[in-house]
Structure 1
Amino acid sequence: MIQTVTDKFKYPFEWLDIMEPSDEELKSVTEKYDLHESSINDWLQIDHLPKYEDVGSYTFIIFRIHAENAASEADTVTELTDKVAIFMNAKTVITLHKKQWSGPESIKKNQIDQHECKNTHHLVNEIIKSCLATYEVSSAKLTRDIEYYEENMFLKNRKPSLLEGLYYLRRKVEVTRRIIMLSHDIIEKMDAPTHSNTFTRDTRDLYVRLTNIYDTLFENMNQLVMIYFSISSQRTNEIVRVLTVFSVFFMPLTFIVGIYGMNFDFMPELRLRLGYPAVMILMGAITFGIYVWFKRRGWL
């Protein structure tokens, strides 16, 4: 579907927004605006990473935006992000994407109709800023998810799926952070000295802020995973400690029972009238003594 967001008769530039074009539409646009075949091939690759490239008569940019409805177990580039291709020259901007994206409508309403976009470079800068903003929304959700897992771990309300959830959460943070890092070249080119202005510096500031946010999230996730294994190890040690205490209690009792279970003919204690109660009292005294000793040592 080809949508003309702005036309060259009313605005200083033309902006075509194309969502999931058919083969005929793609061929028509390619021929009309003289788009290079390599650029189209790059856009057709669903997992292509961000790039900035000067292709003769136009500039070609691939930017990845965060998917609006990513699944809870999404952990790959194609599952977490959607691709937006941008073709820009002095008079025309073409954006290509395969999924619904609210950027064009928002930019037209808040920037173009307010006469804030004077040229195509300014427009593309606003497009990239809109793409970056999708990661800001995602960072807030990731922060809430990290707090949820942190609370569950420290309150000892562990669920069977906790470790699996931590894995997917860490993957989300790692993949998203990597995509943002790979977009650095685009931000640098847009805010180059020859094009730098207040608007491009705002985009750079947003990029720097997102980079810091996702760096912090990545560090927090690594610490959270380490804390999880540390708590698991501590709980295992607690279980081993309890089992060790039980074994210490029963070791002397088992020793006594082992001796009197050997059934030798010449064991005088076996024929004593008070032999049985004496052994039971001895076992009780040993158990009580072990308990008092453990208590004084602080092991119970």
Structure 2
Amino acid sequence: MVKNLTADTNCNWEWIDLVNPDKTDFEEISQKYNLHPAVVYDSLQPDHLPKYEQIEDVAFAIVRVFDKEIGQDGDTVQDLTNKIAVFYSREFLITVHRDEYPFLEEIKKTLIETNHCKSPYHLFIQLVKEVLQSFEQPALKLATDLDYYESKVFLRNNPNKSLTTGIYWLKRKAEVSRRVLNLSKIVLDNLNREQKHDPYIQDVYDMYLRLLTMYEEVDNGANNLLNIYIGLASHRTNEIVRVLTIFSVFFMPLTFIVGIYGMNFKYMPELQMRGGYPVTMLAMLLITIGIYIWFRKKEWL
């Protein structure tokens, strides 16, 4: 579907919005605005990462917006984000995307219909700002989830597989989102190069740095929490092994004695002794006490 969002306004330039366009629609637009075939091809690839290119007087950029419908197990760039391709020059701005985004309509109402948008350049800055804002709420949710998992790690007595899985997915989402933001920096750098010290682009830069810091904190926190959890699980395992080892040390000499006197040889003098049984039991008791005293001295108990 092709929409001209500036058709009924006083703008002296055009904003063409293509929603899930077919081949015919895109061919007409590319011929009308003289778009290069290479960037047209890139704009149709759903998995393309953020980029920025300048071809003659037309700039081409790809940005990725956070997908609100993402499932619990999504952990790739393609799962977490959707692509928006943008072509712009002094005379036009073209947006290409597969899904409807409410913020595009909001931009039209607040900037285009009120004639507050000066040029395609400033419209693109606002578009990038809205794209970055789509990462804000997911970052806050990941931070909240991190606090939840942190309390579970330090308060649970037993390791839990679902807890480890949850921390892993949280870490992956923070990692992928941070990667997308890092790749998006090239778009901001090129916008800044066009008009240095523009207050609009500086505002977007501030938002970008804030979001990047939030995702880095979540990513580092999840990584540290995962390491702590694995360490605590290993410590619990070591405690169990230590207790079992102590029990085995206590019973090893006793089992040895029982094994000797349990052999069915005919000539075993101790078996004929009147006090053989109580002496053996006393010896086993003394060995047990000796092992206990030795463990206490070594501070193993």
TM-score of the superposed pair, with normalisation by structure 1: 0.91
Matches within 5 A, 1:95-244: 95-156=95-156, 158-192=159-193, 194-244=195-245
1:24 is the counterpart of 2:24:
yes
2:60 is matched with which residue? 60
Residue by residue over 1:123-151, the C-alpha shift from the partner in whole angstroms, topping out at 9 and shown as x without a partner, is 10000000011111111121122222222
In structure 2, C-alpha distance between the alignment counterparts of 1:111 and 1:284, rounded to whole Å? 90
Conservation of the 8 A alpha-carbon contact between 1:152 and 1:158: no
1:76 is matched with which residue? 76
Conservation of the 8 A alpha-carbon contact between 1:90 and 1:119: yes
Give the share of equivalent positions with the same residue, in percent.
42
In structure 2, C-alpha distance between the alignment counterparts of 1:190 and 1:139, rounded to whole Å? 25
Instruction: Tell me whether 112-121 or 133-142 shows the greater mean CA deviation.
Output: 112-121
In structure 1, C-alpha distance between the alignment counterparts of 2:226 and 2:12, rounded to whole Å? 53
Conservation of the 8 A alpha-carbon contact between 2:9 and 2:112: no
Residue by residue over 1:237-296, the C-alpha shift from the partner in whole angstroms, topping out at 9 and shown as x without a partner, is 112111111111111211211221233333222123343243234333433443455456
1:94 is matched with which residue? 94
Conservation of the 8 A alpha-carbon contact between 2:65 and 2:131: yes
Conservation of the 8 A alpha-carbon contact between 2:10 and 2:115: no
2:37 is matched with which residue? 37
Code of the residue aligned with 1:80 in structure 2: it is: L
How far residue 91 of structure 1 moved from its aligned partner, in angstroms, is 2.3
How far residue 26 of structure 1 moved from its aligned partner, in angstroms, is 1.6
How far residue 104 of structure 1 moved from its aligned partner, in angstroms, is 0.7
1:49 is matched with which residue? 49
In structure 2, C-alpha distance between the alignment counterparts of 1:281 and 1:192, rounded to whole Å? 91
Conservation of the 8 A alpha-carbon contact between 2:6 and 2:15: yes
In structure 2, C-alpha distance between the alignment counterparts of 1:72 and 1:185, rounded to whole Å? 29
How far residue 232 of structure 1 moved from its aligned partner, in angstroms, is 2.1
SS in 2 for 1:110: helix
How far residue 37 of structure 1 moved from its aligned partner, in angstroms, is 1.2
Code of the residue aligned with 2:207 in structure 1: it is: L
TM-score of the superposed pair, with normalisation by structure 2: 0.91
In structure 1, C-alpha distance between the alignment counterparts of 2:93 and 2:227, rounded to whole Å? 47
How many residues align? The count is 300
Code of the residue aligned with 1:165 in structure 2: it is: G
1:257 is the counterpart of 2:265:
no
Inter-CA distance 274–206: structure 2 relative to 1 (3 Å threshold): same
Structure 2 unaligned spans of 5+: none
In structure 2, C-alpha distance between the alignment counterparts of 1:193 and 1:122, rounded to whole Å? 11
How far residue 39 of structure 1 moved from its aligned partner, in angstroms, is 1.3
In structure 2, C-alpha distance between the alignment counterparts of 1:294 and 1:149, rounded to whole Å? 38
Conservation of the 8 A alpha-carbon contact between 2:11 and 2:115: no
SS in 1 for 2:85: strand
In structure 1, C-alpha distance between the alignment counterparts of 2:240 and 2:14, rounded to whole Å? 70
Conservation of the 8 A alpha-carbon contact between 2:270 and 2:276: yes
Q: Which runs of 4+ in 1 moved over 6 A?
A: none
Inter-CA distance 193–98: structure 2 relative to 1 (3 Å threshold): closer
How far residue 204 of structure 1 moved from its aligned partner, in angstroms, is 0.7
Residue by residue over 1:130-184, the C-alpha shift from the partner in whole angstroms, topping out at 9 and shown as x without a partner, is 0011111111121122222222221225322333333332222222111111111
In structure 1, C-alpha distance between the alignment counterparts of 2:235 and 2:200, rounded to whole Å? 52
